[in-house]
Structure 1
C-alpha cells in the first residue's frame, strides 16, 4: 500500500508504485477502457437524439426539428453545468472511485429510460443521464492525473493515451449503433432508434463492470478521505442525485431561451464575479489574469455554439440535403459523427508537431483560440458555398464530401482550442478558486451548447430544414465566427499581456 491519499484540496501526496504496462502505470489502461465504454455510451446515443425526437414525438413531422434542436442544446448545456458539482461531491464527500461507480449506475439507468417511447420518461431519462455524467465524467479525468507525481514526465503522454480512449469510443459508437438501428433491427427508412439507446445503456454497464473489477489496481487512489469511509455519505449523495433529477427535468422542460437567461447566464455571471473579486483581492497581476480568462470564456461560448451543430442541425442536413448514395449503398447519417473522432486521432499529432516546429513563432493561447474560431468559420463557409452553388438540380442535394469536410475542418479548430482550455484555467484562475475557474470553463461551454440548440432551431425553421433555411442560418454563422475570430486575433497581444507571461 502507498501513502495515504488526500482530497484535491488537501496537501499533495505521491501515488503508490504501480506495475508498468507499455511504460505507463497499469491502472491507466483500466481507466482507458472505462472511459472508452462511457464515451461509447454517450456518443452512441448522441447522433440519434434529435432524429428520434422528431420520429417518436412528432410523428416524423419536420416541424419537430426546431424543438428537437432546442432540447438537444439544453441537454448538452446541463451536462456541462452538472459537471460543476461532481468535483465537490468526489472531493469532499464520497471519493473518486465511489463517485465514478455511482455515476455509472445512474447514467446506465438514464440511457435505458430514454429508450421508452414516452416523452415524460424520455425527459426524465435525459435528466438522469445529466446527473450521472456529473458524477462520472469530470472525476475519471482527475483520477488519471492522480496516477502520476507532479513532475512525472509520463503525465502528458498518459493523458494523450487516455484522450485516445475517449476518441476511440466516440468513433466506434455511431458506426455500431448506426448498423444496429438501420440494418439489424430497422431499415434506413425506419431506423430503430430505441435500439441505439439500449445499446448505449449496455455500453455504460460494461464501463461500470470494468471499473468495478479493475479498481483494485488503483491501490487506494481515489478512495474516500479519512472519516468518510462509511456508506452514509454515499447514501446521502444518492438521495441528492434522486432529488436533482426532477430539477433537471424541469430545466429541460422550460423554453431554451428561459434556461439561457434565467438559469445559465446568472450562474455564469455569479461565477465570473467571484473570480474577479478574488483576483482584485490578490493584486493587479492576479486581477489581469482573471480578466484575460473571462475574455477567453466569452469566445469559448461562440466556438461551441456553432461547433455543436454536429449533433443537431448537421444531422437534419445529412438526413435531408446531403447526397449519401454510393452506388446501391447509402452512407448512414450516424456515421458522420465518427468523422470528428477519426480526424482528432489522425490530426492531433500533426497539430502538436506544428506547434513544436514553429518554435518561438508558436501562437499565443489567445491566438490559438482565434485560429480555432476561424477554422470553425471556414467550415461554415464551405457549407455556404455548397448550399448556394453545389446543389444538384435533380436531387436538390449537396455532395457528400462537403459535409464530411466540414467535420474535418471543425476538428482542426477544436484541436487549436479545446486541449489548452483546462490547462489555461489552472494557470490563470486565482489559486484559492481554481475549482470555480473550472466551473466557469464548463459553464461557458454549456452556454455555447444551449445557444447551439437555439441556432439549430433557426437552421431548421418552423417547417423543417430546407436548403434555403440552412443557407440563411449557416451564412449568419460564418459571419459571426469570422468576426469573432478576427477580433480575438487582433486583441490577442492585449490578452497575452494580461496573462502576465502565462503560455
Structure 2
C-alpha cells in the first residue's frame, strides 16, 4: 500500500487555524512555551553532575562515577515519567491542564534543588521529574494535533518546534554559565551553581505564564474529554503527583542498576499495551505499531551514548580538554550550547535536503540508522584525539575535537529526534497517541539511564583519565556503528510494516 495513513473516525476535525509563516498560528505559542521550559531544563542540566561532585563529594574525582549514575537516573526518570503524563492527558485531565500542572510542579522542584542538602536535592530532582512528566510529552503531542492526518506540513512543523527546543537549550547554558561564573560571585573553578538553579526556576515560571495566556489560540485542542471538564480530576491528579514525588525520590536512591530493571519491565508492559491496541484496529495499525516499537529499541542505543553530554563529556571537558585561550578559560558549561547551536544552524539545511531529495529521501528507519552512524562517528573522533592528539606536557586534547564531537552528534540527532516525534503521532494507535509519545520517551529514558552507567565506567573509581576515556569511547563507537549499519540495511522491511507512512 502507498499513500497516507488511514484516518480514523475517532480523530476530531482540526480547526481552521490562521497561519503564520505557513503553519497554524498556535504552533508559535507552543514553540515559545517549550522554549522557556527547555531553558529551565537545560539551564540546570549542564551543571548537575558538576554540582554533585563539588557539593556532595568535596570536588574529589572519585565523585564522578556516582554523580554520573545519579545524573543518568534523573534524566531517565524525567523521560520515564512522560509515560504516565501521556496517559493522564489522554484519559484523565486533558493536555492543556497537564501542561499547566506540570509547569507548576517543575518550577517548585527547580527552586528546591538550590538547598545544599543531599536528601533535599534528590527530593527536588524528584519534583522536577514529576512536573516534567506531565509537561513534556503532552506539549509535543499537541503539536501533532494542529495538523490533519496526511497534512504535508507536519514534519516541517515538528522541525520548527524542535528548533524552539534547541533555541532555549542553546541560550540556557550560556546565560546561566555567565551568571554562575562571572556575575554572582562564582569563578571558572567554582561556579555559583545555586544561581543556575534559580535562573532555571524563573524560566519555568515564564513558560507557565506564556501557556496560560496563549492557550486560547488552541480553540479546544487539548481540552479534557467530554464529561471530564470539572476541577475535581485536576485536584486528584495534583494529589497523586505529590504522592508520586517520594516514589521518584526512592527510585533515584536505589541505584542505576536496579532502576534499569524497573524501566525495562515498564517498557515490556508498554509494548504489550500498544500491540494490544494495534491488534484491535486491524492489520495495518498492528503493523504500524510493530514498526514503531522496533525503532524504539534502536532509540535506546542512540541516547545511551548521546547523553554523555551532561556526564562524561563534562568531566572530559573539565579534565582532559585544553580550554585555555591565552589566559581566558572556556567555561565547561558552554560546550552544552554547541549542540543546540548546531541544531539551529543545520536543521533548515537538513529540512531543505530531505525535500530536495524527493523520492530519494531516506525512509524513517534509514534516517534512524544514519542517526546512530553519525553518533558513532563522533566517538571515532574522540578515539583519534585520545590516541593521537594528547599533548605530552598537559595530557590534554585540543579544544576543537570536543567542539566537533557535539557538531557531529547534532547531525545524528537531526536525523533521528524530530523525525521520531512526528513518527509516533503517525504510527501510534489512535486512541493512545499520548501513551505512544510516552513510550518514545520511555525508550529514551532507558538509554539515558544506561548513559549514566556507561559514564561511570568511563570515569572509574579514581576519576576520568586519558586511558579510561579512550577505552570507554572505543566501545561507544562500535556499539553505535554496528547497529546503525544493521538498521540501515533492514530499513526496507520496517518501512513495509509502516504502510506508506513517510
Shift of 1:345: 0.9
Which segment drifts farther, 145-154 or 164-173?
145-154
Determine if contact 2:373/2:484 at 8 Å carries over to the other structure.
Answer: yes
Corresponding position of 2:414? 415
Corresponding position of 1:240? 240
Corresponding position of 1:354? 353
Determine if contact 1:16/1:219 at 8 Å carries over to the other structure.
Answer: no
Change (3 A) 1:215 1:360: closer
Shift of 1:38: 0.8
Determine if contact 1:9/1:91 at 8 Å carries over to the other structure.
Answer: no
Corresponding position of 1:113? 112
Change (3 A) 1:63 1:126: same
Q: Render the CA deviation track for 1:46-68: whole Å, top value 9, x for unaligned.
A: 00000000000111111111111
Q: What TM-score comes out, normalization by structure 2 length?
A: 0.92
Shift of 1:102: 1.3
Change (3 A) 1:370 1:155: closer
Corresponding position of 1:80? 79
Aligned: 1:490 with 2:489: yes
Change (3 A) 1:57 1:366: same
Corresponding position of 1:71? 70
- Counterpart CA distance in 2 for 1:145 and 1:427 is 9
Determine if contact 1:375/1:412 at 8 Å carries over to the other structure.
Answer: yes
- Counterpart CA distance in 2 for 1:502 and 1:292 is 11
Gapped runs of 5+ residues in structure 1?
1-7
User: What is the aligned residue count?
Assistant: 494
- Counterpart CA distance in 2 for 1:61 and 1:399 is 24
Aligned: 1:342 with 2:331: no
Corresponding position of 1:203? 203
Shift of 1:26: 4.3
- Counterpart CA distance in 2 for 1:284 and 1:28 is 33
Shift of 1:386: 0.4
Corresponding position of 2:4? none
- Counterpart CA distance in 2 for 1:284 and 1:155 is 25
Aligned: 1:274 with 2:265: no
Corresponding position of 2:5? none
Corresponding position of 2:366? 367
- Counterpart CA distance in 1 for 2:80 and 2:177 is 29
Q: What TM-score comes out, normalization by structure 1 length?
A: 0.92
Change (3 A) 1:129 1:400: same
- Counterpart CA distance in 2 for 1:230 and 1:280 is 33
Q: Render the CA deviation track for 1:378-419: whole Å, top value 9, x for unaligned.
A: 000000010111001111100000000000000001111112
- Counterpart CA distance in 2 for 1:487 and 1:44 is 36
- Counterpart CA distance in 1 for 2:194 and 2:205 is 17
Determine if contact 1:98/1:234 at 8 Å carries over to the other structure.
Answer: yes
Which segment drifts farther, 475-484 or 450-459?
475-484
Shift of 1:147: 4.3
Corresponding position of 2:396? 397
- Counterpart CA distance in 1 for 2:361 and 2:145 is 30
- Counterpart CA distance in 2 for 1:137 and 1:344 is 19
- Counterpart CA distance in 1 for 2:339 and 2:325 is 21
Corresponding position of 2:477? 478
Which segment drifts farther, 270-279 or 74-83?
270-279
- Counterpart CA distance in 1 for 2:115 and 2:300 is 33
Determine if contact 1:366/1:495 at 8 Å carries over to the other structure.
Answer: yes
C-alpha root-mean-square deviation of aligned residues, in Å? 2.3
Corresponding position of 1:38? 37
Corresponding position of 1:333? 332
- Counterpart CA distance in 2 for 1:291 and 1:153 is 24
Determine if contact 2:86/2:438 at 8 Å carries over to the other structure.
Answer: no
Change (3 A) 1:121 1:343: same
Determine if contact 2:155/2:419 at 8 Å carries over to the other structure.
Answer: no
Shift of 1:450: 0.6
